[in-house]
Amino acid sequence: MSRALLLGLTLAVATPAAAQVDSAAPPPVRDTVTRDTVAVLLPPFALPIQDGPLPHGIRFTFTADSLLFTNARTLSDLLGHIPGVYVVRGGWYGQAEIVLFGGKGAAAVVVYWDGVPYLPLGRDSVYLDLARIPLAPLERVEVIVLPAELQIYLVTARPRSTAPLTQVGILTGDQDIASYRAGYATRGRSGLGVALMADWNHLDGNPNTTTTGFDSNDLWLKAEYVPPGGRVGASLQIAASSWHRRASSDSRVDGWRQQRRDRLLRVFLAAREDGLGFRFVGSLGTSAVERDTLVPNRAISTANVELSHRWRRAAVGVRARFGAAGAPSQLEVNGSWQLWSRITVAAAARQSRYANDISGERAWASAGVRLPLGFSVRTDIAWQRDLQAPLAVAIPRRTAMERAGWVQFDHPRLSVAVGRGRRDAFTPFDFAAGIKPVDRLSTTPLSEFVAARASIRPVAGLTVSGWYFDAVVGGGDFEPPHHARLSATFYSKFWRVFRSGVFALRGEVAVESWSRWGLGGVGATGTVLPMGGATFVEANVELQLVGVTLFWVIRNANGMRAAYVEGLGHPKSVQLYGARWSFTN
């Protein structure tokens, strides 16, 4: 009986002990909500830029971070960081901002939106007002700087993470400036994603000055499908931009209303997942300008086919564009090659066929060599026999050649580049309709220029950078002597105090200055307008706390009474401030 009692007690104790062990065991593996919501990164579309290696120093890159932490409100502001660029400003925000470079007028600026040419339409159809191209949808801007041409590649947002992203922004300031931005992006594990961005802007302005009232609305929608593996994909995007600039009381600024709509369908097929090997890209785009008060509606369309092959140190590509309703048809070939990790060569050639059976050709080449001790040298050459604007077929073709050489030194705390170039004579046609005092640009004679840019980091977090440009021989309209830009920037994420990415502070003071110059465009009566010397100071402070960025900007902080164009003004010490939120849902 004692044995039976002991056995019973043993079973009584063992049974609850066994049950306790079973209840503590992990449950069977299942597809839980927590597991499904873990964000993963999926492959995006390949970057629609000039493929392959390029000689050191020929390419300027503005990434998403530099677009966020900057005082640039427009694409024209961004290009002001490139040596020799002069932005012809009709006033403050909302006014025309025409980028001039190399004395070639409209022929100096070529813009691509996700690899497709972005052409001027509407009232002007010759010059692009880069201030009217929205920055909100962009995640990257790349600029290839040739001796007298800027090739600008705009890359729209390419969501990679399956975590939904929301963006909200507000801005206010002087002259009742107001801006509101809202964005949303999401992507599923299948590779299907949607991105949306909306921007509303308003300025009361002053009708007695050349900074008049202004309103704009920019809407951008993109649907994209790139499944895991990244070897095939398709995207469709729609961009709609409308703006209204009111006239000034003294007729120095004309009232202007316009709406532009762009649609772009792209597909690609790649042989490999890592971006190397063969790649096919096809696209179909349409652009239309409507509701202009002076000119009728206009629409063009373009079909593009691109075949390329990428190796680890070389790339070659062929692009064929077929235009309709006035858009040109083009055949473009480009290639680049890096030899022995020190020598890089790149070249491209393009033939265009315009309306009325007019043809045009452009070509450029660049070669760079990396030398010991951080030095490098580069030489660029560009040639054209082409129209100044794709839709201005009534303008005679111009032939010109430009060349330049650069010497550069790079160190972790110091970078210096010095160059000299030569440009053929060139006669720009007409001028931008948004700058009323200037009727046209005079002929630019055979010119030689010197340019330099430098960046130094004396201490951690502080960077002093700038550039200098001077046409020592010749020089054309809006190429003032001793043109320079200098900025001092403090930027720190305070690694030792806060967790990475939680807190960042950026402050910048920038100065742009030039000397007096006798060539500031030609007025309607044939009078050559002078350029007065000027110095404009800007300052901005940005504070990032987790996903919130607070910013404050002041333009013309030194209260200059000068202007970028004779007869047009610029307000003194105008301020704007606001905040942007970026967070995952």
Per-residue pLDDT at 500 exceeds 80: no
Residue 458 lies in a domain: yes
Spell out the residues 6+ positions from residue 308 whose beta carbon is closer than 8 angstroms to its own.
51, 278, 279, 281, 315, 316, 317, 318
CATH no. for residue 343? 2.40.170.20
Residue 10 lies in a domain: no
In a domain, 12, yes or no: no
- Would you state the pLDDT for residue 133? 95
The pLDDT of residue 8 is 43
The whole-number pLDDT of residue 12 equals 39
CA distance 298 to 281: 27
Looking at every residue in the chain, the average pLDDT score rounds to 90
| Residues ≥6 apart with Cβ < 8 Å to 35 | none
Per-residue burial over 417-441, b if 16 or more Cβ lie within 10 Å, else e, is: bebebbbbebbbbbbbbbbbbbbbb
Which residues contact residue 142 at a Cβ distance below 8 angstroms, ignoring those fewer than 6 apart?
49, 50, 59, 60, 61, 62, 152, 153, 155
What's the first-to-final CA gap in the chain, in angstroms?
68
On the question of pLDDT at 10 being above 60, the answer is no
% of the chain beyond a pLDDT of 70 = 92
pLDDT above 80: residue 22:
no
Confidence of residue 546 (pLDDT cuts 50, 70, 90): confident
**pLDDT tier at 5, thresholds 50, 70, 90:** very low
Residue 36's pLDDT is: 56
Of all residues in the chain, what percent carry a pLDDT higher than 90?
80
State the pLDDT at residue 165: 93
In a domain, residue 4? The reply is no
The answer to whether residue 9 is domain-embedded is no
Number of structural domains in the chain:
1
Asked whether residue 240 is domain-assigned, the answer is yes
Domain range for 92 = 46-584
In a domain, 27, yes or no: no
Which pTM does this prediction carry?
A: 0.91
Beta carbons within 10 angstroms of residue 24's beta carbon: 7
User: Is residue 490 in some structural domain?
Assistant: yes
Q: What is the pLDDT of residue 37?
A: 64
Q: What is the pLDDT of residues 212-229, one digit of tens each?
A: 999 999 999 999 999 999
Q: What is the pLDDT of residues 284-327, one digit of tens each?
A: 999 999 999 888 999 999 999 999 999 999 999 999 999 999 99
pLDDT of 181 higher than 90:
yes
